[in-house]
Amino acid sequence: MFDKRKDGNQEGPKAHFESGLNDLSANQASQSRPAQSSGRAAVIGPRIKINGDVSGEENLVIEGEVAGSVNLKEYRVDVGQSGTVKADITAKVVKVDGTVQGDIEAAEMATISRTGNVRGNIKAPRMTLEDGAKFKGSIDMDPGEPRQPAKPSAPRTEAKPADEPPKAASNGKGPVPDKPKADQGLPLKGN
């Protein structure tokens, strides 16, 4: 009665519900494939407060409040301008336009926009702090495995005859190390 349209288009909550069912059935059919994002994101609205852990398998936009932890390792987390997060965030890509109090670990990239405010440590291979961003913490941009340090070579020492006493400095205060003598070069004519 209310959703009957001549053109067949659906609008309103019923359309959103049915499109969610279509997404759900498509998601169940693709469970054997590796996790992929549909390009859309789940949204925690500005009037929603969550106390606890948030995890899932799609992108997330936080416009409300979250306290606990956010764990979306293979997906993107956006903290909107009205978003407040008192939690550690682990995601593939993290963008902060709002406020975050907690550590951020991004597998690919972390961005704090000019309106963003972060109090916590950030670990990401790529990091962007826009002009005007507020940040207090440390940034670890380790790209992966640490490099193996080069092995130091053993210092070269020249053998000295044991019967020679060390030479004294010109000021008489200590020995002077032997310096290699300059190459004589080519002989000059007339010598």
> Taking all residues of the chain, what is their mean pLDDT, rounded to a whole number?
76
pLDDT at 142: 75
Confidence of residue 8 (pLDDT cuts 50, 70, 90): very low
Asked whether the beta carbons of 46 and 65 are under 8 A apart, the reply is no
Tokens of 128: 């962007």
Segments making up each domain of the chain, as ranges: 36-138
What are the residues whose beta carbons fall under 8 Å from the beta carbon of 44, sequence distance 6 or more?
A: 50, 54, 60, 61, 62, 63, 64, 66, 83
Q: Rounded to whole angstroms, how far apart are CA atoms 141 and 139?
A: 6
How many other CB atoms sit within 10 Å of the CB of residue 93? 18
Type of residue numbered 12: G
Cα(71)–Cα(88) distance, rounded to whole angstroms?
Answer: 8
Q: Is the pLDDT of residue 132 over 50?
A: yes
* CA distance to 22, 24, 59, per residue, from 29 (Å): 11, 9, 19
Better-scored residue on pLDDT, 71 or 23? 71
CB 42 within 8 A of CB 61: yes
CB contact burial 166-178 (16+ within 10 A = b; e otherwise): eeeeeeeeeeeee
52-76 CB burial, b ≥16 within 10 A, e <16: eebeeebbbbbbbbbeebbbbeebb
Residue % of the chain over a pLDDT of 90: 52
Range picked from 10-19, 24-33, 109-118 for highest mean pLDDT: 109-118
Structure confidence by residue, pLDDT tens digits, 26-35: 444 444 334 4
Output the pLDDT for position 27.
Answer: 41
Instruction: Give 84-114 pLDDT, tens digit per residue.
Output: 999 999 999 999 999 999 999 999 999 999 9
The count of other CB atoms within 10 Å of the CB of residue 143 is 9
Tokens at residue 80, please?
Answer: 């909107």
> How many other β-carbons are positioned within 10 Å of the β-carbon of residue 106?
23
Report whether pLDDT(4) > 50: no
Q: Find residue 94's DSSP bridge partners.
A: 77, 110
Sign of CA dihedral 109, 27, 55, 98: positive
Residue 159 has pLDDT above 80, yes or no: no
Residue with tokens 């469970």: 31
